Chain A
Amino acid sequence: MQITLTVNGETRDMDLDPRVTLLDALRDHLRLTGSKKGCDHGQCGACTVLMDGRRVNACLVLAAMAEGAEITTVEGLGRPGSLNPLQQEFVACDGFQCGYCTPGQIMSATGMLAEARDGWPSHVSESLAGPVALTDGEIAERMSGNLCRCAAYPGIRQAISNCAGTSAEAAKEAAE
Chain B
Amino acid sequence: MKPFEYIRAEGIDEAGTAAAGGATLIAGGTNLLDLMKLQVAAPGTLVDIGHVPGLGDIEETAEGLRIGALVTNSALAADPRVRKGWPVLSRAILSGASGQIRNRATTAGNLLQRTRCPYFQDPASPCNKREPGSGCPAKGGVSRMTAILGTSENCIAAHPSDMAVAMTLLEAEAEIRAAAGTVRHLPLGDLYRVPGDQPDEETTLQPGEIITAVHVPHVPAGSVQAYRKVRDRASYAFALVSVAGIVRMEEGRMAEARLAFGGVGTKPWHDAEADALLTGRRPSEALFGEAAQLVLAGARTEEGNAFKVPLLSRTMKAVLRELTGAAPASPGTDRTEAYA
Judge whether A145 and B100 touch: CB under 8 Å. Answer: yes
- Are A1 and B6 within 8 A (Cβ)? yes
Question: Does B37 interact with chain A (Cβ within 8 Å)?
Answer: yes
Decide: A18 near B4, CB < 8 A? Known: A60-B30, A145-B236: yes
- Known contacts A111-B99, A124-B331; is-contact A64 B104 (Cβ 8 Å): no
Supposing A18-B4, A121-B78 touch, asked if A45 and B331 sit within 8 A by C-beta, the answer is no
B95 on the A face (CB < 8 A): yes
Out of B3, B6, B95, name the residue touching A123 (CB < 8 Å): B95
Bound Cα distance from A111 to B100, whole angstroms: 9
Considering the complex, give the chain A residue whose CB is closest to the CB of B2: A19
Does B26 lie within 8 Å of A65, measured CB to CB?
Answer: yes
A57 touching B90, Cβ below 8 Å: no
Stretch in A6-14, A71-79, A125-133, A164-172 with 4+ CB within 8 Å of B: A125-133
Which residue in B50, B90, B99, B234 is a CB contact (below 8 Å) of A65? Answer: B50
Please encode chain B, from 87 to 123, with 1 for each CB lying within 8 Å of some chain A CB and 0 for all others: 1001100110111110110000000000000000000
Let me know if B101 and A40 touch, CB within 8 A: no
Neighbouring A residues of B104 by C-beta, 8 Å? 56-57, 60-61
Chain B residue with Cβ nearest A142: B99
Which residues of the other chain, A, contact B46 by a CB distance below 8 angstroms?
18
B98 touches A65 (CB 8 A): no
Interface of B: prevailing SS: mixed
The verdict on B1 contacting chain A, using a C-beta distance below 8 Å, is yes
Say if the beta carbon of A28 comes within 8 Å of chain B: no
Residue B48, interface by CB 8 Å: yes
Would A122 and B94 count as touching, CB distance under 8 A?
Answer: yes
B113-152 CB contacts (< 8 Å) to partner A = none
List which B200-241 residues lie within 8 A (CB) of chain A. 234-236
Residue B3 contacts which of A19, A120, A124, A126 (CB distance < 8 angstroms)?
A19
Q: How far is the CA of A112 from the CA of B29 in the complex (A)?
A: 21
* A94 contacts B by Cβ under 8 Å: no
Kindly provide the distance from the CB of A2 to the nearest chain B CB, expressed in whole angstroms.
12
Residues of A within 8 A of B94 (CB): 121-123, 125
Q: Find the B residue at minimum CB distance from A21.
A: B33
Query: Residue on B with the closest CB to A55?
Result: B100
The docked-state distance in angstroms from the alpha carbon of A64 to that of B4 is: 12
A102 to chain B, nearest CB (A): 16
The reply to whether the CB of B5 lies closer than 8 angstroms to some CB of chain A is yes
B87–A128 contact, CB under 8 A? yes
**A41: interface (CB < 8 Å):** yes
- Bitwise interface map of B from 44 to 82 toward A, beta carbon under 8 Å scored 1, else 0: 001010110000000000000000000000100110000
| CA of A111 to CA of B144, assembled, Å | 34
Most chain A C-beta atoms within 10 Å of own C-beta, residue among B3, B29, B51 = B29
Give the complex CA separation of A149 and B82 in angstroms.
36
Quick check: B30 and A145 within 8 Å, CB to CB?
A: no
Are B34 and A18 neighbours in the complex by a CB distance under 8 Å?
Answer: no
> Could you say which residues of chain B place their CB within 8 Å of the CB of A119?
78
Is A161 located at the chain interface by the 8 A CB criterion?
no
CB closest residue in chain A, given B331: A126
B74 touches A54 (CB 8 A): yes
With A55-B99, A65-B29, A121-B94 as given contacts, are A141 and B235 in contact (CB-CB < 8 Å)? yes
Residues of chain B contacted by A54 (CB below 8 angstroms): 74, 103
How many Å from the CB of A114 to the closest CB on chain B? Answer: 11
Instruction: Give bound CA distance, A125 to B90, whole Å.
Output: 11
Query: In the bound complex, do residue B101 and residue A125 qualify as a contact, i.e. CB atoms below 8 Å apart?
Result: no
- Flag whether A97 is at the interface (Cβ < 8 A): no
Chain B residues, Cβ within 8 Å of A1: 6
Q: Enumerate 24 A-B pairs (CB-CB under 8 Å) in ascending A order.
A: A17-B3, A21-B33, A42-B98, A45-B98, A45-B100, A51-B103, A57-B100, A60-B29, A60-B101, A62-B26, A62-B29, A62-B33, A65-B8, A65-B48, A111-B100, A115-B74, A120-B77, A120-B78, A123-B95, A123-B331, A123-B332, A129-B83, A145-B97, A146-B98
On A, residues with C-beta under 8 Å from B are 1, 17-19, 21, 40-42, 45, 48, 51, 54-57, 60-62, 64-65, 67-68, 108, 111-112, 115, 118-129, 140-146
Q: A61-B29, A146-B98 are in contact. List 15 more A-B contacts (CB 8 A).
A: A19-B1, A40-B37, A42-B100, A54-B103, A56-B100, A60-B33, A62-B33, A64-B6, A65-B29, A65-B50, A108-B100, A120-B78, A123-B91, A128-B87, A141-B235
Give me the 8 closest cross-chain CB pairs, A-B, nearest first. A145-B98, A144-B235, A18-B6, A128-B83, A144-B236, A120-B78, A123-B94, A54-B103
